[in-house]
């Protein structure tokens, strides 16, 4: 067997040139890190401006560099740029093209810089930009939920524990629970932006540089609050990527919980909501089916986002300081999680905004399962000054009576209830409307309180 045939047998048809092809394939990141092109060019222009201002390179060279980089930016955005796997990554692809455009001056750009701090600043800029996009998307989702909450502040539905009817609530109140969840996600995004708002540019390979650079200048030019304070940590830190994935995973979990409820609510057995044709599909064999595919896919994609978080945590857990090539695996996880989360939020915003709320079905369900039993116990405590544990016991007997009669507790007559406890009077009304109206405590389900919370959140989200 010839050497070439042996090579093919060993490496497979995909790697016809043997080990060198395998190394190129595993080492190259241009297939995915080309997403960083705008941040890479932005960082390089800021770096060149600083080099010129500090006298490290001439103003003329800086002008040539900036012009060349802007030309490359236009080429990439117009689709005219030829990416090369042999040049490994976005940084080398841009640098090689810059040399073609402006000649030897291109070689001065990398003065006082390493690919280690270059990729660190590029990736930080990308994640920071994505955080801002996620923040705006979350604000849009929250505003959609607020609109539905205001519309349905008095629409009664069952509140559940263990997916069993517990107490009546309003659909508006239920929507406001998700406002709280997504607002916490938004808060985490804001916190993470503040924490990562430092520029690693100038840390060089790992130890800083002997050139008289001005790291505060480049930090300011790139929109960072300040430069990082330790060169070792600067090039090895990926906490910002882990935080992005962590926040994405928590947010995806919230989206998945709402998606699960939409799946349940849209079943004929519940019938609480009807999804529009825009967010559901039919069956290839059963013409009556209308499947909540968008909600199901939101639910499923949560596992994908969670997997990216665990994957990067595993990559980072055993790395000594400072940079290791393992860290090249950070970007695909973050890029995919970002695209996935963006899509999930958009889909959920659309579903919540245009789904039809079936108020009659919600109201029927809200009055089932003895959901106003707690109202009887509260009445006994409030009106008869009964200890709650005794009231709980009396209410349990009333529930047993209702079950024996085959009716809900709200259907028992005053005489029926008096057979359980003679102190009960006609002014006790165990309707779902009375129940939700009475829950006036701060953050409760009373329609007036729901409207108050909606009003307060509208003001907060406008300032967020």
Query: Which residues form the catalytic set?
Result: 162, 283
- The number of beta carbons lying within 10 Å of the beta carbon of residue 164 is 9
Here the tokens at position 463 are 């300032």
| CA dist., res. 79 & res. 69, Å (int) | 15
**Torsion over CA: 150, 152, 153, 154 (sign):** positive
* Nearest of 25, 47, 92 to residue 204 by alpha carbon: 47
CA distance 100 to 95: 9
342: tokens are 């963006």
Q: How far is CA 355 from the centre of its chain?
A: 22
**Residue 142 CB neighbour total at 10 angstroms:** 24
Q: Which residues pair with 71 in a beta bridge?
A: none
Q: Is 159 strand, coil or helix?
A: strand
Q: Which helix (H) or strand (E) holds 150?
A: helix 115-151
Q: Return left, alpha or beta for 163; rule: phi > 0 is left, psi -120 to 50 is alpha, else beta.
A: left
Side-chain-facing half-sphere of 156: CA atoms under 13 Å:
23
Side-chain-side CA neighbours of 131 within 13 Å: the count stands at 27
Q: Are residues 272 and 364 in contact, defined by beta-carbon separation less than 8 angstroms?
A: no
CA distance 244 to 249: 9
Chain-centroid distance of CA 103 in Å reads: 44
User: 407 exposed, middle or buried (CB, 10 Å; 0-12, 13-18, 19+)?
Assistant: middle
Number of other CB atoms surrounding residue 174 within 10 Å: 24
For residues 73 and 398, give the distance between their C-alpha atoms in angstroms, rounded to a whole number.
75
Cβ–Cβ < 8 Å for 29, 118: no
Cβ-based burial of 426 (10 A; exposed 0-12, middle 13-18, buried ≥19) = exposed
Strand 226-227 versus strand 273-274 pairing type: unpaired
């Amino acid at each position: 067997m010839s050497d070439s045939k042996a090579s093919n047998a060993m490496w497979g048809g995909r790697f016809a040139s043997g080990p060198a092809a395998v190394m190129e394939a595993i080492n190259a990141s241009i297939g995915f890190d080309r997403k960083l092109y705008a941040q890479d060019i932005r960082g390089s222009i800021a770096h060149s401006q600083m080099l010129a201002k500090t006298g490290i390179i001439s103003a003329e060279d800086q002008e040539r560099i900036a012009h060349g980089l802007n030309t490359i930016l236009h080429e990439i955005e117009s689709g005219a740029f030829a990416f090369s796997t042999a040049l490994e990554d976005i940084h080398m692809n841009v640098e090689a093209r810059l040399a073609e455009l402006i000649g030897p001056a291109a070689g001065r750009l990398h003065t006082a810089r390493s690919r280690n701090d270059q990729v660190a600043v590029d990736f930080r800029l990308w994640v920071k930009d994505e955080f801002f996009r996620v923040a705006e998307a979350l604000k849009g989702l929250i505003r959609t939920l607020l609109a539905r909450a205001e519309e349905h502040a008095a629409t009664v539905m069952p509140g559940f524990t263990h997916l069993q009817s517990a107490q009546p609530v309003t659909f508006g109140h239920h929507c406001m629970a998700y406002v709280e969840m997504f607002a916490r996600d938004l808060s985490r995004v804001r916190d993470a932006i503040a924490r990562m708002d430092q520029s690693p540019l100038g840390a060089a390979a790992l130890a800083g540089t002997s050139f008289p650079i001005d790291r505060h200048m480049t930090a300011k030019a790139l929109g960072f609050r300040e430069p990082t304070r330790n060169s070792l940590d600067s090039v090895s830190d990926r906490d910002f990527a882990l935080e992005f994935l962590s926040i994405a995973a928590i947010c995806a979990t919230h989206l998945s919980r709402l998606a699960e409820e939409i799946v349940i609510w849209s079943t004929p057995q519940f019938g609480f909501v009807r999804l529009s044709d825009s967010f559901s599909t039919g069956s290839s064999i059963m013409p009556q089916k209308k499947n909540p595919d968008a909600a199901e896919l939101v639910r499923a994609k949560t596992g994908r986002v969670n997997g990216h978080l665990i994957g990067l945590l595993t990559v980072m857990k055993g790395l000594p300081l400072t940079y290791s090539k393992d860290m090249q695996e950070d970007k695909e996880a973050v890029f995919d999680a970002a695209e996935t989360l963006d899509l999930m939020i958009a889909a959920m915003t659309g579903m919540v905004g245009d789904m039809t709320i079936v108020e009659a079905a919600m109201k029927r369900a809200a009055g089932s399962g003895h959901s106003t039993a707690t109202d009887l116990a509260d009445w006994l405590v409030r009106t008869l000054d009964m200890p709650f544990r005794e009231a709980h016991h009396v209410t349990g007997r009333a529930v047993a009576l209702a079950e024996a009669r085959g009716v809900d507790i709200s259907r028992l007559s005053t005489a029926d209830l008096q057979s359980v406890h003679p102190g009960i009077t006609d002014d006790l009304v165990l309707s779902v409307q009375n129940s939700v109206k009475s829950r006036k405590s701060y953050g409760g389900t009373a329609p007036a309180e729901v409207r108050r919370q909606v009003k307060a959140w509208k003001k907060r989200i406008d300032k967020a």
